[in-house]
Chain A
Amino acid sequence: QKEVEQDPGPLSVPEGAIVSLNCTYSNSAFQYFMWYRQYSRKGPELLMYTYSSGNKEDGRFTAQVDKSSKYISLFIRDSQPSDSATYLCAMRPTGGFKTIFGAGTRLFVKA
C-alpha cells in the first residue's frame, strides 16, 4: 500500500464548476500538507501549504485537512480552462526530510 493515495483521474468538468480533489494517507506522522499544480512539461508549482488539521483559503482555492480521517482535499471554485493541469498532493512529517507525493490527478476544465 502506498503512503499517499490519489486518484489519477482524469477528471473532466465544465467551466464554472466546483472541483474537489482528494488524497488519503496512512502515516499519522504527516503534519505538513501541500497541493501542487503541474502544467505539461513544467515543474510542480506550489498552490497551498497547510499545517495539521483545518481549512485554508486562497482566492478560488480551499485546502482542507482532516487528520482524524487521514484525508485531505483541495476545492477549486469557479473553475477555468486555465485550471486544466495535474494536481499533486504532498505531505511531510515534522522534522522529516522527505516529502511524499500522490500520483497526481489530471483535471480538464472544458470551456
Chain B
Amino acid sequence: DSGVTQTPKHLITATGQRVTLRCSPRSGDLSVYWYQQSLDQGLQFLIQYYNGEERAKGNILERFSAQQFPDLHSELNLSSLELGDSALYFCASRTSGDNSPLHFGNGTRLTVT
C-alpha cells in the first residue's frame, strides 16, 4: 500500500458532464501530482501542487482544473467530458527535496459514454 488514496475507483458518466476525482496524499507529503494514463498515450503529466499552490502544468486541457486544499488533499475536476477523456487518472505524492520518488494511488478509471 503506497499510502496514497484515490476515490472513486470507477466512474461512468456521459459526454458533456462534469466529474470530480479526489486524492489524499501520503501522510507528510506536501506535493501532489496528477497523471492521465490511456492505452495509446502512456502516463501523461497533468499538473502538480505543492502545499496548496500550483507548481507545474503539463498537458492539461482547459476543461480540466485542479486544486489542493489546506488539509493537502487534492481534487481534479473534469468538465464538458468527451469520449476521449476516458482513461485512468492517477494521483501521486512525494516528500520535499530532490531525493524522493513519486508514490502512486490506484487510480480512478473514468469511462465517458
Q: Does A94 contact B (CB under 8 A)?
A: yes
Chain B contact residues, majority secondary structure:
strand
**Chain B residues touching A, range:** 20 to 34
Of the candidate stretches A9-17, A36-44, A54-62, A69-77, the one touching chain B is A36-44
Considering only residues 58-111 of chain A, those with a C-beta below 8 Å from chain B are 88, 90, 94-95, 97-104
Shortest Cβ distance from residue B67 to the other chain A in the assembled complex, whole angstroms: 17
Please name all residues of chain A whose beta carbon is closer than 8 Å to the beta carbon of B103 when the two chains form the complex.
46
* Chain B residue contacts of A100, Cβ below 8 A: 45
Among B70-78, B79-87, B94-102, the stretch that binds chain A is B94-102
> For chain A, which range describes its interface: under 10, 10 to 19, 20 to 34, or 35 or more residues?
20 to 34
A45 and B2 form a contact (CB under 8 A): yes
Indicate if the CB atoms of A45 and B101 lie closer than 8 Å: no
Contacts of A88 in B (CB 8 A): 43
Q: Does B48 contact A (CB under 8 A)?
A: yes
Q: Would A43 and B90 be within 8 Å (CB), given that A32-B98, A101-B42, A103-B42 are in contact?
A: yes
A104 to B44 alpha-carbon distance, docked (Å): 12
In the assembled complex, A21 has its CB within 8 A of some CB on chain B: no
Cβ distance A82 to chain B, nearest Cβ, rounded Å:
17
Is residue A34 within 8 Å, beta carbon to beta carbon, of the partner chain? yes
CB distance from B41 to the nearest CB of A (A): 9
Q: Give the distance in Å from the alpha carbon of A95 to the alpha carbon of B106 in the complex.
A: 27
Contacts from A to B (Cβ < 8 Å):
31-32, 34, 36, 41-46, 49, 51, 88, 90, 94-95, 97-104
> Which residues of B are at the interface with A, using a C-beta cutoff of 8 A?
2, 4, 6, 33, 35, 42-43, 45, 48, 55-56, 58, 90, 92, 98-99, 101-107, 109
